[in-house]
Amino acid sequence: MSEADRHQPDDVRQPEPPLPEESGLTLEEYLSMQQAIGHPTRFRILRTLVANDELSAAKLKAAVDVESSNFHYHLDELVSVGLVDKRQRRTADSQGFYTYYRPTGMGRGILEHGVEELMRREREFDKTYA
């Protein structure tokens, strides 16, 4: 039996709780956000929205270049986990409402301080050791 096998479970240190007690979101909600941005299409949608602040569904779809059926599925996923905000408004020259999408503060944060931060670090590492 190895040394690691002989350790009792109470010898294992437990990490600190991931969230403060008064957190506004649950761990499951944070993990759902992380899972949502983990899909390449949803990542591209969110990045495009962050770069443009707000876009209509048609302009966003054209910019991301995704099939219509897949596009709305992925966009709805981002809305449902709270990374993208959906709103309708009437434009001065229209008779109906148009739907616009914009990143939420959490959407901007998870993109900037999550995946893109890892990418920035890789570029910096590459420059330093290339």
Q: How far is CA 44 from CA 1, 98, 107, 108, in A?
A: 49, 22, 12, 13
Average pLDDT, the chain: 85
Domain ranges across the chain = 25-129
pTM check: above 0.85 = no
CATH number (3.30.530.20, 3.40.250.10, 1.10.10.10, 1.20.120.80) of 25-129 reads: 1.10.10.10
- Please give the structure tokens belonging to residue 93: 């020259």
pLDDT tens readout for residues 22-74:
888 888 988 898 899 999 999 999 999 999 999 999 999 999 988 888 999 99
Nearest to 33 by CA among 102, 99, 87, 114: 114
Tell me the residue type at 60: L
